[in-house]
Amino acid sequence: GESVGLHLPTLSVQEGDNSIINCAYSNSASDYFIWYKQESGKGPQFIIDIRSNMDKRQGQRVTVLLNKTVKHLSLQIAATQPGDSAVYFCAEITGGSYIPTFGRGTSLIVHP
Amino acid sequence: DTGVSQDPRHKITKRGQNVTFRCDPISEHNRLYWYRQTLGQGPEFLTYFQNEAQLEKSRLLSDRFSAERPKGSFSTLEIQRTEQGDSAMYLCASSLDFPTSTDTQYFGPGTRLTVL
């Protein structure tokens, strides 16, 4: 079936660097995408979202880019901090559904 | 703390036993979701309530699993005759109007189930 997936299972960066986490999706009917951050021992936490009528959305230190042509989603974190160390998931929602489908996750490790 | 709470946080049980988990959502939230998560994987949807009505169930939710939300507030997830494959983190989330508005899902800390 169609699914959401991530390219890199682990990403290691130095504090202060910019991080880019990628996600591929295959369901062309998906029209809403969310990035979540999950720290050890906690549930996923919403970071930023984007709807399919946009190709870029910015938050505080985070930017999500959506390329519908190649069905690709990315999360950019500026000036990565040790507190950003976590597992990051992208999730997609198909129009009319209330249920997000999560990808596998990328572990971000930030070295001081 | 006015977030989503789950109880217990950890549960160790023997194969064949029944277990029940509780989720208390954010008080005004009418939507409640249960997910299962295994190590390194994203959460997998199990079931969804709007108020007290269970509107959707995943094929993952076998007949050994049952969920209730009797008064449209807290919810319970019961697993009967547990199997080792049931070992996972069980996450609950709630929302007011997700995803039809700018609202989002708020996740609880999860219940870690280990079946021996």
Residues B74-90 have a mean pLDDT of 97
Two tokens, residue B111? 């219940």
pLDDT of residue B72: 87
Q: Chain B contacts of A93, Cβ < 8 Å?
A: 99
pLDDT of residue B2: 74
- Summarised one tens digit per residue, pLDDT across range B95-115 is 987 776 667 899 999 999 999
H or E, element range at A33: strand A30-38
Give the closest residue to B42 by CA, choosing from A81, A23, A62.
Answer: A23
Q: Kindly report the nearest CA distance between residue A60 and chain B, in angstroms.
A: 17
Look at B45 and A101 and tell me if their CB atoms are within 8 Å: yes
For residue B43, CA distances in Å to A99, B17, B66, B70 come to: 11, 24, 18, 24
Q: Kindly report the nearest CA distance between residue B30 and chain A, in angstroms.
A: 13
Which of A99, A101, A106, A107 to probe the B interface (max B CBs under 10 A)?
A: A99
pLDDT of residue B59: 87
Is residue B64 pLDDT above 60, yes or no? yes
Report the residue from B41, B48, B104 with minimal CB separation from A98. Answer: B48
C-alpha A102/C-alpha A34 separation (Å) is: 9
Q: Chain A contacts of B40, Cβ < 8 Å?
A: 9, 104-105
- Summarised one tens digit per residue, pLDDT across range A55-112 is 999 999 999 999 999 999 999 999 999 999 999 999 999 877 878 999 888 999 999 9
Confidence of residue B1 (pLDDT cuts 50, 70, 90): low
C-alpha A70/C-alpha A92 separation (Å) is: 15
Is residue A42 pLDDT above 80, yes or no? yes
Q: Chain B contacts of A103, Cβ < 8 Å?
A: 42
Is residue B49 pLDDT above 60, yes or no? yes
- Decide which of B19 and A5 is more confident: B19
User: Which neighbouring-strand residues pair with B75?
Assistant: B23
Taking one residue from A and the other from B, the number of pairs with CB-CB distance under 8 angstroms is: 52
Give the closest residue to A105 by CA, choosing from A32, A40, A61, A26.
Answer: A40
Which residue in B has a C-alpha nearest to residue A33's C-alpha?
B99
DSSP secondary structure of A85-107: -EEEEEEEEETT----EE---EE
Two tokens, residue B108? 């609880």
